[in-house]
Amino acid sequence: MFFVFTLAFMGMASRLFVLQIVEGPEYAKLAVAQRDRVIEFPARRGAILDRVGEPLAISVDLHTVWTDPQHVSDPAGEAARLAPVLDLDARELEQKLACDCRFQYLARQVGPKVAQRVKNLDLPGIYMEAEPKRYYPGRRLASHVLGFVDIDGRGLEGIEAQYEAILDGTPGSMTLEQDPAGRPLPQAEFEYERPRPGRSLLLTIDKELQYFTQATLAEATQTFSADAGTAIVMRPQTGEILALANVPDFDPNNPGGFSEIDRRNRAVTDVYEPGSAYKIVATSGALQEKVVTPRTQFVVPDSYAYSDRVFHDSHPHPTEKMTVAEIIHESSNIGTIQIGLELGGKELDGYVRRFGFGSKTGLDFPGESPGIVLDRSDWSGPTIATIPIGQGIAVTPLQMAAAYSTIANEGTWVEPKLLAATMTGGGRLEPSPPPATRRVVSRSTAKKVTEILTGVTEKGTGIEAQIPGYAVAGKTGTAQKPLETGGYGNSYTGSFAGFAPANRPAIVVIVVLDEPSPIWGGSTAAPTFKTITQFALRHLGVAPTGNAERAAREIQAEQAGDAQTYD
């Protein structure tokens, strides 16, 4: 018997050793998982500010009402008193107050007046916890840039989603103890850890310029009966986006009240065929490769057959000799095709990609499109003729803005950026990394293209973009929209892209209008470009390029004429 009992105790000791020493940590984790219940409270989200610190998105403290039903003595009575204050159904509220649990949400993010009324009731088992709610003081201002969050403060679109890890912070938590069956342990204590706030973001957006750009774009879409519109203002030397607007827009304080179409950031997610505004690519390439000069002449008819296509200029004209500069001034499709043929397919494809088309800009904005560019191996017979005139290729407005910034920045492409810096809780700024750059064409080539584009606004199709006192370089675009079944219909996109002052560019602006009336970019997008650019130059304190007194007289005369017309 002694031997038997010795073996039994040795077996039990061995088993205890395995359970407590070898497998002890695993069982301890299992016990904690069964016993502990962790409830998270969101952290205060970092603010989003414009370039000078004006708030675009902030978090305000509201209150969340919750209950510990184990402390509720009269569920029916408390529900009857609390339901009208929280605007809830008394029966459903009573069920929450009577549940066999230790935590139940009753109402999320209630206002100060409601919170005070709840506090005045002084009901046992009813508690309140401060909870931040995202608020956008500008309402629709920069809504497509900012995006929005869900009720728990998680970013769903825009900057809010892109920089979620920076803005979010570390949530707080409350730990409750319960038995394996889920029943609360009455004598257990709460463990509470306060949330730590996230970092704030300083954007490149200029709040005043953003507001004016949005208002002008909204007025333009209404004036020209356009279905939608996009406008971008950016600095060519740094890639900083000062304003980015889309119509239609939405209020991020109530995103559920708007459709996905309203919330779509067309400037980076939507593609379109750019038409004549794209002619700078083939022209820049041909000038860089020295196959043409601005004074090189071509014999230009009003129609031209190439491969299986017949191309036409925008209006009939007799066959005439035109220089490269005149071809761009008059936006001749036939002349531009001839320039592209001189450049050649391989080189044309190379410049398309060097200008950034066919790949994302590096902004890393949620949903950004790389555009649609055919691989060289997929080109068909007429492709070399369609690409120079902006057909058979799809781009985003942001890609086009970056391409024009390349010319404005003396031939160097700069990665667009929206984030200027992050801000710690102590107010210390950490600048964002410098943007990527690459040389696309030489300074000499960029200067020649700038001179050509300046002629577009002085005597070509972009006269409506002229700004008194400032030399403007830019190009119009009027493009047929392709049909889903192939070919082109009777719908058009009108655009104008350019920069000012032409000799020392301070800003690049692009305006794209979807199905405007009239269809011509020179008649719709160009005057909208003028209004935005003129305000931006004054707002940024950019000095006129010509005689200051003469510029002032021109501006006064223009304003007087506008006032008289308005009266």
Of the three residues 149, 176, 203, the one that is the final residue of a domain is 203
**Is residue 325 included in any domain, yes or no?**
yes
Question: What pLDDT, on a 0 to 100 scale, did the predictor assign at position 429?
Answer: 85
Q: How far apart (Å, rounded) are the C-alpha atoms in residues 514 and 527?
A: 15
Cα separation, 227 vs 515, whole angstroms: 6
Domain shared by 350 and 287, yes or no: yes
Same domain membership, residue 380 and residue 512: yes
pLDDT at 416: 96
Q: Is the pLDDT of residue 7 over 90?
A: no
Q: Which of 108-117, 132-141, 209-218, 284-293 has the lowest mean pLDDT?
A: 108-117
The pLDDT score that the predictor gives to residue 74 is 76
Host H or E run for residue 336: helix 333-343
Q: What is the pLDDT, as a whole number, of residue 563?
A: 41
pLDDT score recorded for residue 565: 33
9-23, 49-63, 371-385: the lowest-pLDDT one = 9-23
Model confidence at 562: pLDDT above 70: no
Do 107 and 240 belong together in one domain? Answer: no
pLDDT of residue 182: 53
CB atoms within 10 A of CB 180: 10
Model pTM? 0.80
Cis peptide before 518 (omega within 30 of 0): yes
Region of 87 on the Ramachandran plot (φ > 0 left; ψ -120 to 50 alpha; else beta): left
The average confidence (pLDDT) of the chain is: 85
Q: Label each residue of 487-519 as H, E or C.
A: CEEEEEEEEEEEEECCCCCCEEEEEEEECCCCC
pLDDT in tens, 397-418: 999 999 999 999 999 999 999 9
Q: Do 316 and 233 sit in the same domain of this protein?
A: yes
Q: Say if CB 236 and CB 508 are below 8 A apart.
A: yes
SS3 of 66, please? strand
Same domain, 301 and 245: yes
Tokens of 421: 């810096």
Mean pLDDT of 291-314: 89
CATH of the domain at 301: 3.40.710.10
Confidence grade of residue 188 (pLDDT, cut at 50, 70, 90): low
Residue 321 lies in a domain: yes
For 382-392, the pLDDT digits (tens) are 999 999 999 98
Assigned domain for 554 exists = yes
- 456 lies in some domain: yes
Query: pLDDT grade, residue 289 (50/70/90)?
Result: very high
Q: What is the mean pLDDT of residues 53-60?
A: 88
Whether residue 240 contacts residue 134, with contact meaning beta carbons closer than 8 Å, is answered with no
pLDDT computed for residue 489 by the predictor: 76
User: What pLDDT, on the 0 to 100 scale, is given for residue 566?
Assistant: 30
- pLDDT one-digit tens code per residue, 252-264: 988 888 988 899 9
Neighbours of 248 (CB within 10 A): 18
β-partners of residue 422 are 201, 430
Residue 167 and residue 155 in contact, taking contact as beta carbons nearer than 8 Å: yes
CB atoms within 10 A of CB 126: 20
pLDDT at res. 373: 93
Note whether 124 and 230 are same-domain residues.
Answer: no
- Phi first, then psi: give them for residue 372, nearest 5 degrees: -130, 110
**Out of 9-23, 234-248, 352-366, 495-509, which region has the weakest mean confidence (pLDDT)?**
9-23
Structural domain count, the chain? 2
Residue 131 CA neighbour count, 13 Å, CB half? 22
Is-contact 390 493, C-beta < 8 A? no
Position 42 scores a pLDDT of 65
How far apart CA 79 and CA 532 sit, in angstroms, is: 57
State the catalytic residue, choosing from 59, 143, 276, 495.
276
Would residue 97 count as lying in a domain?
Answer: yes
> Higher model confidence: residue 242 or residue 546?
242
Per-residue confidence band for 32, with pLDDT thresholds at 50, 70 and 90? low
- In eight-state DSSP terms, residue 99 is S
Residue ending a domain, among 203, 229, 253, is 203
Say whether both 221 and 325 belong to one domain: yes
Whole-number Å distance between alpha carbons of 434 and 414: 10
> End of a domain among 147, 174, 203?
203
289 with 409, same domain: the answer is yes
444 catalytic? Reply is no
Give the range of the structural domain holding residue 474, as residue numbers without chain letter. Answer: 207-566
For 233, the token pair is 């203002």
